[in-house]
């Protein structure tokens, strides 16, 4: 059957009506400031690492520089860093400070409504869909920045990140989730009963850490007061490269996060990927199983479709991808397994932009 815009959008609306898991990559952040992307991080590391360290004492960084000079992508270049703990910590520090400064630049503009995040329309739609029966919208982001949290603050959407407390919050997913429970009186027949309900909220998983997470005296804390310009505490983020996956597997905090993410992936009925490149094997094995083995539906919404994403579309029966037409940036291409070589072209429509997608598909 021939694909048309109306048929495709009808399918998208059907997918979004289910219990969806939202997976967010760097795309929405880059849309605000392209320095959030890997090119920006590459330039920052190349400039700052030699200023922080005597690179003659750190041969692994020399290997990184050699790879970058050969035009190797930063994530692959950083595979050369695996045994030099001082270098790894310096990369974490430089990366964290860099992303924090970018985040600071956007924060006031967002909260004072001078700036609209690309994600705001879909967050608004998904939050409005929540109910007493389905009160939780789960989100996974591999980003370190706080742009999702800023958007939630702006619109007063409750957002659980797994931490509890006042200023210096401790990691405790069970307690954090329990605090969303409240009592409500209902009338059933001739009786008034008190029942427990869960407040509508976003549940945000950050498997690679966050610029406001720190390791302090052996404890993992979320402390916004330390986020910008503080170097006395170890920032808890996982930077690109081979060492990233070793840290995810061995660090108790990240292992707990992955343990919490697995049920979110398996129990979701559909998946929405926004600006996500599928370069994180630590969380993607379960996602791929759900898409390919169980044929759950999904939509990839991105400006540029990565090779990994396109390969997944070829394998998954019910996975769609929409992206910019590389030959005409005013058009959108729509892929799925059946038309992978001849995508549907939507002329004069930038539906790969999440705000346009929401307006066209969901009637924003």
Burial class (CB in 10 A: 0-12, 13-18, 19+), 316: buried
Each residue's pLDDT tens digit, 227-245: 997 667 788 888 887 665 5
Residue 111 located in a structural domain:
yes
* Arithmetic mean of pLDDT over the chain: 90
pLDDT of residue 247: 59
Question: Tokens in use for 146?
Answer: 């706080």
Each residue's pLDDT tens digit, 134-161: 999 999 999 999 999 999 999 999 999 9
Quote the DSSP letter at residue 343.
P
Residue 336 located in a structural domain:
no
Residue 134 located in a structural domain:
yes
Q: Among 81-95, 117-131, 246-260, where is mean pLDDT lowest? A: 246-260
Residue 81: which of 211, 255, 239, 250 has the closest Cα? 239
Residue 186 located in a structural domain:
yes
Kindly list the distances between the CA atom of residue 115 and the CA atoms of 29, 136, 247, 321, in Å, as whole numbers in the listed order.
Answer: 13, 26, 35, 27
Residue 67: which of 95, 42, 37 has the closest Cα? 42
Domain count, the chain: 1
Residue 175 belongs to domain spanning: 19-296
Pinpoint the alpha helices (H) of 36-164.
Answer: 38-52, 59-69, 74-77, 85-111, 120-129, 147-155
326, pLDDT greater than 60: yes
């Amino acid at each position: 059957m021939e694909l048309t815009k109306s048929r495709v959008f009808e399918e998208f609306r059907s997918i979004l009506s289910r219990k969806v898991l939202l997976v967010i990559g760097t795309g929405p952040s880059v849309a605000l400031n392209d320095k959030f992307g890997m090119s920006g991080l590459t330039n920052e590391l190349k400039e700052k690492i030699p200023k922080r360290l005597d690179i003659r004492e750190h041969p692994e960084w020399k290997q990184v520089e050699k790879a970058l000079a050969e035009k190797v992508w930063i994530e692959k270049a950083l595979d050369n860093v695996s045994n030099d703990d001082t270098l790894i910590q310096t990369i974490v520090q430089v990366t964290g400070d860099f992303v924090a400064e970018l985040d600071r630049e956007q924060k006031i503009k967002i909260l004072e409504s001078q700036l609209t995040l690309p994600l705001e329309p879909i967050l608004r739609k998904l939050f409005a869909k929540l109910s007493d029966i389905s009160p939780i919208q789960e989100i996974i982001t591999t980003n370190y920045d706080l742009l999702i949290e800023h958007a939630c603050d702006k619109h007063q959407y409750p957002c659980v990140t797994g931490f509890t407390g006042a200023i210096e919050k401790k990691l405790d997913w069970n307690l954090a989730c329990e605090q969303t429970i409240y009592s409500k009186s209902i009338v059933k027949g001739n009786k008034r009963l008190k029942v427990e309900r869960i407040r509508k909220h976003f549940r945000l998983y950050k498997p690679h850490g966050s610029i406001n997470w720190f390791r302090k005296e052996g404890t993992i804390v979320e402390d916004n007061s330390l986020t910008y310009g503080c170097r006395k505490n170890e920032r808890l983020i996982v930077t690109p490269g081979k060492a990233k996956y070793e840290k995810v597997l061995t660090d108790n905090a990240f292992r707990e996060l992955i343990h919490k993410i697995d049920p979110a992936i398996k129990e979701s009925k559909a998946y929405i990927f926004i600006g996500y490149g599928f370069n994180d094997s630590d969380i993607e094995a379960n996602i791929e199983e759900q898409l390919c083995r169980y044929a759950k539906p999904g939509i990839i919404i991105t400006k540029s479709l990565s090779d990994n994403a396109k390969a997944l579309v070829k394998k998954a029966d019910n996975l769609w991808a929409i992206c910019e037409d590389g030959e005409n940036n005013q058009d959108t291409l729509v892929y799925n397994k059946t038309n992978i070589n001849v995508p549907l072209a939507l002329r004069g429509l930038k539906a790969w932009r999440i705000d346009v997608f929401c307006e066209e598909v969901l009637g924003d």
